[in-house]
Amino acid sequence: MYKIIKKVSLNPTVTLMDIYAPLIAKKAEPGQFIILRVNDEGERMPLTIADYDRVRGTVTVIFQIVGATTELLNHKNEGEYITDFVGPLGKATHTKGLKRVAVVGGGVGSAIAYPVAKKLHSEGAVVHSVIGFRSKELVILEDEFGAVSDKLVIMTDDGSYGEKGLVTNALKALIESGEEYDEVIVIGPLIMMKFVCLLTKEYGIKTTVSMNPIMIDGTGMCGGCRLTVGGEVKFACVDGPDFDGHLVDFDEAMERSAMYRPTERNDYDKACKLIPKEGKRDA
């Protein structure tokens, strides 16, 4: 059992949790992920490590409430426990030797992009961050990104905060203004990563993406998370989750991520039945 040390609501649909897992905290690196199960009946769900504190022994995860398991998880409070928490899984994001990097985050993906920006900053790289959200009330981690970025651009789809438009608009503007990058690192929805890659390909800038396919075990034993990268089949859980974005078959990845969409609503209803009713929850 793994204790929830801290729980903060970052916006109406995004929650941060610090989980006590000292052995994982000791080894975790930006770009790696964990798999958790909320309770004994739960499914296994991957979440990228958003931060870690090796001294306190905690691992931070940030998740968007999108379905059954995230809803169940969001009903857990500080001091309560989740059943399983496995990691650190996957390979760490490659940051060594990078001097000038654009870090692009979309929505809750910004939470995963943040530790990468932080690490690059601590290694002395020039970091330009572009983070995008649908609207003002969904903006997260603005101060955190500000602290580790030499330049920070916030985009909202509706223009209610920062600049109006998509992250691709901001990245294009930066590149057109003469900024040069060794690499672009982009983390967010598949469709966003796809369009950032199409953009950077035009300029010939190496681009790393963090893929988030459906997973079960996260240790390489099933291939449920397989992707086509440069014409070869890769398992995101062990070969990734980071890949060269210009080689990833995004259309296939988007198809595969929608595999269970027809049953997800049903699972959500099942999960709601498992959530303790208000007032009945243990004090």
Partner 1 sequence: MPNMSLKKNEMPVQEPSERNKNFSEVALGYTEEQAIDEAKRCLQCKHKPCVAGCPVYIEIPAFIKEVAEGNFDKAYEIIARSSSLPAVCGRVCPQEVQCEQVCVRGIKGEPVAIGRLERFVADWYIENNKKAVEKPVPNGHRVAVIGSGPAGLTCAGDLAKMGYAVTVFEALHLAGGVLVYGIPEFRLPKAIVKKEIDALIALGVELKTNMVVGKIQSVDELFEEGYEAVFIGSGAGLPRFMRIKGENLRGVYSANEFLTRVNLMKAYKEDSLTPVLRAGRVAVVGGGNVAMDAARCAKRLGAEEVYIVYRRSETELPARAEEVEHAKEEGIIFKLLTNPIEILPDENRFVGGIKCVEMGLGEPDESGRRRPIEKAGSEFVLDVECVIMAIGTSPNPLIKSTTENLATEKWGGIIADEQGRTSREGVFAGGDAVTGAATVILAMGAGKAAANAIDEYITSKSQ
Residues that bind partner 1 (CB under 8 A): 23-24, 27, 37, 41-44, 68-69, 83-89, 216-217, 219-224, 226-228, 233, 238, 252, 255-256, 258-260, 263-264, 267, 270-271
Helices (H), the chain: 22-27, 68-74, 109-122, 142-148, 167-176, 190-203, 236-239, 250-257, 261-274
Residue whose structure tokens are 């916006």? 11
Give whichever of 135 and 263 is closer to partner 1, judged by the CB atom.
Answer: 263
> How far does Cα 105 stand from its chain's mean position?
9
User: Min. distance of Cβ 226 from partner 1 in angstroms?
Assistant: 6
Residue number with CB closer to partner 1 (147 or 222): 222
Give the shortest CB-261-to-partner 1 separation in angstroms.
10
Nearer to partner 1, 165 or 224 (CB): 224
The CB-of-24 to partner 1 minimum distance in angstroms stands at 6
Dihedral sign for Cα atoms in the order 38, 39, 40, 41: negative
CA torsion through residues 103, 58, 216, 44, sign? negative
Of the two residues 262 and 279, which places its CB atom closer to partner 1 in the complex?
262
Q: Is 78 helix (H, G, I), strand (E, B) or coil?
A: coil
Q: What angle do CA 256, 265, 78 make, to 5 degrees?
A: 100
Beta carbon of residue 203, minimum distance to partner 1 (angstroms, whole number): 29
Of 252, 169, 250, 241, whose CA–CA distance to 212 is shortest?
Answer: 241
How many angstroms separate the CA atoms of 111 and 109, rounded? 5
The nearest distance, CB 223 to partner 1, in angstroms, is 5
Beta carbons within 8 Å of 192's beta carbon, 6+ residues apart: 106, 109, 132, 166, 167, 168, 186
Least separation in angstroms between residue 241's CB and partner 1 is 14
Q: Are the C-beta atoms of residues 226 and 236 closer than 8 Å to each other? A: yes
- The rounded distance, in Å, linking the Cα atoms of 113 and 188 is 8
Question: Between residues 173 and 254, which has the closer beta carbon with respect to partner 1?
Answer: 254
- Shortest Å, Cβ 224 to partner 1: 5
- Which CB, 123 or 267, lies closer to partner 1? 267
Q: What region does 27 belong to: left with phi over 0, alpha with psi -120 to 50, or beta?
A: alpha
What's at 268, amino acid-wise?
Answer: Y
Nearer to partner 1, 9 or 263 (CB): 263
**Given CA atoms 27, 33, 34, 38 in this order, what sign does their dihedral have?**
positive
What residue type is assigned to position 95 of the chain? T
8 vs 233, beta carbon nearer partner 1: 233
Nearest approach, Cβ of residue 29 and partner 1 (Å): 11
